[in-house]
Structure formats: C-alpha cells, structure tokens
Amino acid sequence: KEQRARQRLPVVPLGIERDEFLKALSELKETLGNEHVEINDKPLQDGWYMEHPNTHDMMTILDDEEFVASAVVYPSTTEEVQEIVRWANKYLIPIFPISMGRNLGYGGAAPRVRGSVTIDLGKRMNKILNINAEDYTCLVEPGVSFYALYNALEERGLRDHMWIDTPDLGGGSIIGNTVDRGVGYTPYGDHWACHSGLEVVLPTGEVIRTGMGALPGNNTWQSFPYGFGPYSDGIFSQSNFGIVTKMGMTLMPNPGGYESFMYTFQKEEDLAPLIDIIRPLRISNILENVAQLRHVTQAIAASGLPRTKFYSGTGRIPSDVIHAAAAETPVGDYTWAYYGMSYGPAHIRSHKLALIDAEFHKIPGCRKIDPSTLPADEYFWSRDRIAAGIPDIHELRWVNWAPNGAHIAFSPVSPIRGADATQLFELGKAVQDKYGIDFFPAFCVGLREMHLIVEIVFNRDDPEEKQRALRCLREMVDLAAAKGYGEYRTHLVLMDQVAGTYKWNDGALGKFNERLKDALDPNGILAPGRCGIWGKRYRGFGWEL
Ligand code: ADP
C-alpha cells in the first residue's frame, strides 16, 4: 500500500486536461490564497476519527483510489463559496462540499465522483454565529462540531440552561450530520426536524436564505422554520442541490433532571413482543428519546477487544461464544439490551419509569440493570452521556472488532412493529450468515418508525473481505426493498442502488429529482451522483454503481 502511495499522481477530473486543470487551480489560488487550495498528490493517509483525512474515505469498501478528491479547497466566507461555484461552472469541474467529513460509514470525506474538488467548508468556516439563550436556538457554520457547541455552552455558562443533541459520535459537524439526516438521542434527536433556517449557495453561485431568513430585518429565522411559500429546506438535505453555509438549530431547555435506564432481555424471540411494547410507550412519549435496542454481539464488540480474543474461526461468531463472553461482563448474559433515558425532575421521572418498568417486565426474564453496579468504562455510561447531550466517542470501539477495522451500515426503516422487526432481523441474519459476517443489529426507535442499523465491520486492507461485505449489503438492500423496506441513509457506494429502490410509478420521484437537478445545476457540477442524483451531463454514461 505504501509503495503504491509513493507513486501516487494527482487525480484529474474526467473531461479536463491535466494542464488546464492545474491552470484552473492556479486561478482559484488567486481568489482563495495559495495555502487554501491543496492538490491531492500526497500519499493517502487514513488517520483515525479525530484526525481523519479530507481527501478520501478512510473506511472505503472499494479501492482507496476510487472515491478520491483531486484537490481540496478551503473557503472562509459564503462569498468565497460562491466564487468556487462560479469557477467550477466555468471549467465544468465537479465539486463536492463537506462540512467536516467525519461521516464515517457513509463515505467519510470522500466525493462520489473520482477527481472532484472537495470544498472543505469546516476548516475555516467554523464560527458559532449566535446562541440565543432566551429562544433556545443557535446559528452555526459548517465547521461547528457537536463538541464545539457543547464547549461553547459550557464556556458561556449556559450548559445548565440548555442542552445540545449529539449523535453517537460527537466529532462531526452539526450541519453535515443534519443535512444527511443523522439522529441523536435526546428528545431533540431528529436533527433535521430541529433545524430552523438555512443559508445556501446554489450550484449556479447565487445565495439564498430559507424560511424567515428571506425577510430582511427578521428576528425569527431560528424560531419559525417555514417562512412563507414553499418550504424549500427539504431539497437541501440528502441531495446535491446546494451548499449549506449557515444553519439554525434549536436547543433543548435543561429538563431539570435525567436518569438513564437499561433493561436486558434473554432471548432472541423476545424481540417481537418487546417492540410491540415499545411502540405505544414511544409514540405517547413515555419513552422520550430515540432509544436503542442492541444485540449482545455488538455490546461485546463495544468492549474494544478484537474478535480474535473471543474466536478464531470463520463464519458468524457462534452464539455460545458471545453468551459466554457476556456472562463475564458486569451486565451479565442477555440477548437484547434497551438503553433509554427519562427526563425531568425526580417526581416526574418516577411516574414514567414505573410505567416503563411494568411494561418491560411483561417479557419473562427481563432484568433492570442497576447503573451503580457498572464500572465507569461500561458502554452504558456512553449511552448515558449521549442521551444527556454530552458528546462522546466511545462508540468507535467496536470498530476494533476487525484488524484495520472499518464499518458500513445496512439501515432500513420500518414501523415499530414486532412482525417487521422479526422480518428484518431474520433477513439480515440469513444474508450475513450466507456471507459469513458477524451480525450487529441495533434497532433505533424513532417516534413512529424505527431504523434497524446493522453495522458490518471489515478489514479495510483485505480486498476479499471488502467485496464480501459489499455483496452482502447489496443483497440485503434488494431483499429488504422487495418486502417494502427502504434505507434512511446510505454510503456513497450504495446511493444509486438505494435511490433505485424508491421507484414507485416508474421512478417518478427520481425523475422529479433529476428535473430539479437540471434546473438548479445545469452543468451538473455539484456533488454529481450524491444520493443517486446525476445531472444531465453525467446521465447515460454508466456512472451509476
Ligand atoms: P460530518 O462532519 O458530520 O461527518 P460531513 O461533513 O461528512 O458530516 O457531511 C456528510 C455529507 O453531507 C457530506 O458528504 C456532504 O455530501 C453533505 N454535506 C455536508 N455538509 C454540507 C454542506 N454544508 N452543504 C451541502 N452538503 C453538505
């Protein structure tokens, strides 16, 4: 790998000669400053989560050189983003905006089209523009991470006053996560639903503000998301229709107390009745946060120990090995663990917790875990921090399951129903068994739906293992779609396939997206192929994967 890296030549986007490309980059240097335009001619270094590369996907499931940038540019203002977009249109160069590029498991910082120029917005556009303690809102730039906002609240003495919401890993960008419709674990966990107001640079270089932001002199941009007329924000999430340069976000008032709880359930078959118990509790907000129902296999992996510590054979790790390992942990043996949090002062919590306890105990063998018996590095405490809006990175540990561990997810959406949970669980298990892959299912219960997140951990230096993981994923996506389940989000490599499953009425939605793309981005320069949307300049040339 190192040898190949030393020989590395910069990639040039298709359709432009190397000399012309280098000339175009020099022109951009004049606008942005020499040091803010970097050609990607260095060895590709993977780094780790907090020191991740912005040139490629450090967890790639393809060859390293597939989804790779030709150059990375660092704007410092919205005006500079506009300049970059106009430049890209002039030379017909594909550009790919990232906020921070920590979207690991979904493509990281990588562009979909090899040789795109990556716009790393986060490096220099990283200001918290406003925190409004009365309205519980903020306005941020792309480089503001969950950690940064959390620290800012702490520094300003506002941490007791209001909370942020963080996803499983707190190092990512608030804007990046929100536009990709990521979720967190407080009652404000649906990030997209909790944002209010965008500033967007369009693919032709104009800039717009959505919602109340369109009214000069307004003071409600972050408190009323809709403004007047069509609600345009939607087309800027999971798309390639614009570059978000500012976003408003609502923050949660400190609920006045909180308490994490963990229940374990013994049998795999407990899944269906448990999900049916969860549904009414979640919809009526007795279960107040996006809670996780996790399989014990992933909890064992979350210890951070490699698989080889437990088992050296091939194929799915046997259940008895997992259960024996679980029995040795402070939690003890189980199959499913439910992690949740109750919010509010003690007298309010106790009522809700009693209801939950009575319902969960309808499952024979249900155990409530006493947190005071759990050591400080137990995974439970990571869930506890995250559900209290405290950013964390403990979740990275299960990636050590494989040497040179990387991960990619199968994440179908279903109703919160036992029959659906069982169907998806059986589907994932059968396909992963076929491909000899350990099965890490976790059900994330939203309000009226749940995502099943199945992370596949693979060795990023083993081409055979990567191919197997990808074939397995593709099969799961197709089988799930045939039963009516679609992915809520996906990795770059699966975007065409997943978009293709949303094909009702002869692919009418896909065609609508193409019409929008062609109208907004006539040269098709902005993030071509992202979420399966290609501008007309790319269609019909076999770019789809
Ligand atoms: P994070 O920093 O949370 O890891 P990323 O910056 O990797 O998130 O963003 C995830 C994906 O969302 C990116 O690959 C990109 O396609 C898209 N994206 C991120 N930020 C923006 C933005 N400001 N404007 C438009 N698209 C964006």
Task: Indicate which CATH number applies to the domain containing 116.
Answer: 3.30.43.10
Q: What percent of the chain has pLDDT over 70?
A: 99
- Does ligand 1 come within 6 angstroms of the Cβ of 244? yes
Do 447 and 335 lie in one domain? The reply is: yes
- Does ligand 1 come within 6 angstroms of the Cβ of 184? no
User: Does residue 497 lie in a domain region?
Assistant: no
Cα–Cα distance, 226 to 232 (Å, whole number): 9
- pLDDT value of residue 146: 97
Residue 57 vs residue 295, higher pLDDT? 295
Do 379 and 466 lie in one domain? The reply is: yes
| 84: its two tokens | 């970059």
Do 541 and 469 lie in one domain? The reply is: no
Q: Which atom of ligand 1 is nearest to the CA of 245?
A: 23
How far is ligand 1, taken at its centre, from the CA of residue 122, in Å? Answer: 9
Residue to mutate (ligand 1; options 98, 165, 395, 492; most atoms within 8 A of CB):
98
Residue 2 has pLDDT above 70, yes or no: no
User: Does residue 440 lie in a domain region?
Assistant: yes
CA nearest 438: which of 427, 454, 453?
454
How far is ligand 1, taken at its centre, from the CA of residue 515, in Å? Answer: 23
Residue 370 vs residue 108, higher pLDDT? 370
Cα–Cα distance, 81 to 89 (Å, whole number): 13
Q: Which of 85, 120, 155 is the last residue of a domain?
A: 120
Do 249 and 355 lie in one domain? The reply is: no
| 133: its two tokens | 């303690």
pLDDT average, residue stretch 279-302? 92
Catalytic residues: 106, 488-489
Which residues does 319 contact at the CB level (< 8 Å), separation at least 6?
none
State how many domains the chain has: 4
Indicate which residue's Cα is closest to atom 7 of ligand 1: 101
User: Does residue 180 lie in a domain region?
Assistant: yes
- Does ligand 1 come within 6 angstroms of the Cβ of 179? yes
pLDDT average, residue stretch 164-183? 94
Cα–Cα distance, 453 to 455 (Å, whole number): 6
- Does ligand 1 come within 6 angstroms of the Cβ of 172? yes
Tell the residue number behind the tokens 């403990």, with chain if given: 394
Cα–Cα distance, 445 to 451 (Å, whole number): 7
Cα–Cα distance, 88 to 97 (Å, whole number): 12
194-226 pLDDT tens trace = 999 999 999 999 999 999 999 999 999 999 999
Q: Which atom of ligand 1 is nearest to the CA of 99?
A: 6
- Does ligand 1 come within 6 angstroms of the Cβ of 102? yes
414 phi, psi to nearest 5 deg: -145, 165
- pLDDT value of residue 3: 47
pLDDT average, residue stretch 259-283? 96
Residue to mutate (ligand 1; options 121, 169, 177, 180; most atoms within 8 A of CB):
180
Cα–Cα distance, 517 to 495 (Å, whole number): 16
Which residues does 290 contact at the CB level (< 8 Å), separation at least 6?
183, 184, 185, 189, 190, 444, 445, 446
Tell the residue number behind the tokens 């094909």, with chain if given: 503
Cα–Cα distance, 61 to 157 (Å, whole number): 43
Q: Which atom of ligand 1 is nearest to the CA of 527?
A: 16
SS3 call for 283: helix
Q: Which residues pair with 291 in a beta bridge?
A: 445
| 154: its two tokens | 């702490």
417-430 pLDDT tens trace = 999 999 999 999 99
Q: Which atom of ligand 1 is nearest to the CA of 179?
A: 12
When the pLDDT of each residue in the chain is averaged and rounded to a whole number, the result is 93
Going by pLDDT thresholds of 50, 70 and 90, the confidence category of residue 81 is: very high
CA nearest 446: which of 250, 136, 235, 182?
182
How far is ligand 1, taken at its centre, from the CA of residue 362, in Å? Answer: 43
User: Does residue 309 lie in a domain region?
Assistant: yes
Residue 331 has pLDDT above 80, yes or no: yes
Residue 47 has pLDDT above 90, yes or no: no
Cα–Cα distance, 426 to 90 (Å, whole number): 51
User: Does residue 275 lie in a domain region?
Assistant: yes
- Could you tell me if 71 and 12 are in contact, meaning their C-beta atoms sit under 8 angstroms apart? no
- pLDDT value of residue 59: 82
438-458 pLDDT tens trace = 999 999 999 999 999 999 999
Do 240 and 267 lie in one domain? The reply is: no
- Does ligand 1 come within 6 angstroms of the Cβ of 180? yes
- pLDDT value of residue 6: 52
- pLDDT value of residue 15: 84
Do 66 and 162 lie in one domain? The reply is: no
**Helix residue ranges, H only, 10-132:** 18-32, 78-91
Do 244 and 338 lie in one domain? The reply is: no
How far is ligand 1, taken at its centre, from the CA of residue 53, in Å? Answer: 14
Residue 304 vs residue 369, higher pLDDT? 369
Q: What percent of the chain has pLDDT over 90?
A: 81
How far is ligand 1, taken at its centre, from the CA of residue 277, in Å? Answer: 36
Q: Which residues pair with 184 in a beta bridge?
A: none
- Could you tell me if 499 and 533 are in contact, meaning their C-beta atoms sit under 8 angstroms apart? yes
Question: Minimum mean pLDDT among 7-16, 102-111, 368-377, 403-412: which range?
Answer: 7-16
Tell the residue number behind the tokens 């405490």, with chain if given: 381
- pLDDT value of residue 369: 96
- Does ligand 1 come within 6 angstroms of the Cβ of 243? yes
Q: Which of 224, 253, 282 is the last residue of a domain?
A: 253
- pLDDT value of residue 23: 94
Q: What is the DSSP letter of 254?
A: P
User: Does residue 354 lie in a domain region?
Assistant: yes
Cα–Cα distance, 47 to 96 (Å, whole number): 21
Do 485 and 512 lie in one domain? The reply is: no
- Could you tell me if 302 and 329 are in contact, meaning their C-beta atoms sit under 8 angstroms apart? no
CA nearest 426: which of 479, 478, 468?
479
Domain residue limits at 232 = 128-253
- Could you tell me if 495 and 501 are in contact, meaning their C-beta atoms sit under 8 angstroms apart? no
User: Does residue 46 lie in a domain region?
Assistant: yes
The CATH code of the domain that includes 197 is 3.30.465.10
The CATH code of the domain that includes 429 is 3.40.462.10
pLDDT average, residue stretch 261-284? 96
Q: Which of 492, 514, 537 is the last residue of a domain?
A: 492
Do 424 and 514 lie in one domain? The reply is: no
- pLDDT value of residue 108: 86
Do 249 and 272 lie in one domain? The reply is: no
CA nearest 263: which of 335, 205, 186?
335
- pLDDT value of residue 43: 80
Do 401 and 424 lie in one domain? The reply is: yes
- pLDDT value of residue 7: 58
- pLDDT value of residue 399: 84
Residue 84 has pLDDT above 80, yes or no: yes
| 137: its two tokens | 């809102």
Do 297 and 333 lie in one domain? The reply is: yes
Residue 271 has pLDDT above 50, yes or no: yes
